[in-house]
Amino acid sequence: MSIKLLTDSASDLPLSFFQENNVGFLPLRVSLDNQEFLDLQTIEPASVYEAIRKGKMPKTSQAAPTTMYEVFEDIAKSGDSCVYLAFSSELSGTYQTAMMIREELLEKYPDFQLEIIDTKCASLGQGVVTYYAAQLLQQNLSLIEMTEKIKQYALHMEHIFTVDDLDFLAQGGRVSKASAFVGGLLNIKPLLHVEDGKLIPIEKIRGRKKVFKRMLDVMEERGKNLSSQTIGISHGDDLETALQLKEMIQERFGTKHFIINIIGAAIGSHSGPGTIAVFFLNENIE
């Protein structure tokens, strides 16, 4: 028996991570031009950003319940146990669906050990938690020990990000329409974070450069041992800016380890082009 690790494509990790670390993922779904695609499998993020720039509004839905059932059942049949790190329950129904499927499967496979964690995280916040979880697989922990440790990483994962246009998040119901009114003509950029799994605007700052400086200030205020952490940076089709932010973090905090990736098709459908996000721990996890 071994522990199988699963997450979903809202984690915004590159496909290579899953292949190299033997971690599974459940794809969220993206609807565009009257077709349904599977995030990270049958649609590229660049296609979503190109569509948004042309005025189209992709729609998203949670991981397919039938796919989820099949994946979990395959693990149950193998006799292995499983930990699933789910996209925040405040932003998707994926976690709730997983819990219902878990109940169904336990009737059929009463010995199946399936732990489902509501990470209350999104994008590479969820992704960096998954990265740490993959490292824990090497430590020969029990299922309970591993689950508790992952919960600590998730609980203490900070998300600090800015978007070019909050209207994308408002249209998808991710922030209130009142919060979305920030004054684009004045070059005012919102700074947001995640609080208990919800996206919350925290400041409005004039000018993109000032936003990035403020992001680093917040990292300094909230982060612990930033030099020795693995920092996540995700971007809405703007690698150049993501790399600039990496250099700023390196210069200020001496951080050596980063995961940098484009925001995937599912999350990117709501955050839009130009989003820049940074993820780090606000506590030392022993």
H or E element that contains 25: strand 24-26
**Do residues 228 and 253 touch, judged by C-beta distance below 8 A?**
no
Are 121 and 249 within one domain? no
Q: How confident is the model over 147-202, as pLDDT tens digits? A: 999 999 999 999 999 987 666 665 655 455 445 454 444 567 889 999 999 988 88
Question: What one-letter code names the amino acid at 235?
Answer: H
What is the domain range of residue 169? Answer: 157-281
Q: So what's the pLDDT on residue 182?
A: 47
With respect to residue 127, please indicate whether it lies within any of the assigned structural domains.
yes
Q: So what's the pLDDT on residue 154?
A: 98
Q: Is the pLDDT of residue 14 over 50?
A: yes
Report which of 274, 261, 22 is spatially closest to residue 128, judged by C-alpha positions: 261
Dist. CA 120–CA 200, nearest whole Å:
13
Residue 204 has phi, psi (to 5 degrees) of -120, 125
Structural domain ending residue among the three candidates 104, 139, 155: 155
Are 22 and 132 within one domain? yes
Structural domain ending residue among the three candidates 135, 155, 175: 155
Are 122 and 12 within one domain? yes
Are 233 and 245 within one domain? yes
Dist. CA 154–CA 253, nearest whole Å:
22
Q: So what's the pLDDT on residue 249?
A: 98
Q: Tell me, what DSSP letter sits at residue 164?
A: S
Q: Identify the residue whose tokens are 């300094």.
A: 220
Rounded to two decimals, the pTM is 0.94
With respect to residue 69, please indicate whether it lies within any of the assigned structural domains.
yes
Q: How confident is the model over 97-146, as pLDDT tens digits? A: 999 999 999 999 999 999 999 999 999 999 999 999 999 999 989 999 99
Dist. CA 233–CA 200, nearest whole Å:
19
Are 151 and 242 within one domain? no
Q: So what's the pLDDT on residue 178?
A: 47
Are 185 and 271 within one domain? yes
With respect to residue 99, please indicate whether it lies within any of the assigned structural domains.
yes
With respect to residue 181, please indicate whether it lies within any of the assigned structural domains.
yes
Are 182 and 146 within one domain? no
With respect to residue 100, please indicate whether it lies within any of the assigned structural domains.
yes
Check residue 63 and give left, alpha or beta (phi > 0: left; psi -120 to 50: alpha): beta
What's the CATH code of the domain at 108?
Answer: 3.40.50.10440
Are 245 and 129 within one domain? no
With respect to residue 57, please indicate whether it lies within any of the assigned structural domains.
no
What's the CATH code of the domain at 259?
Answer: 3.30.1180.10
Structure tokens at 176: 């209130």
Are 249 and 271 within one domain? yes
Are 20 and 143 within one domain? yes
With respect to residue 36, please indicate whether it lies within any of the assigned structural domains.
no
Are 113 and 16 within one domain? yes
Residues 6+ apart with CB under 8 A from 269: 30, 48, 52, 57, 58, 59, 60, 172
With respect to residue 42, please indicate whether it lies within any of the assigned structural domains.
no
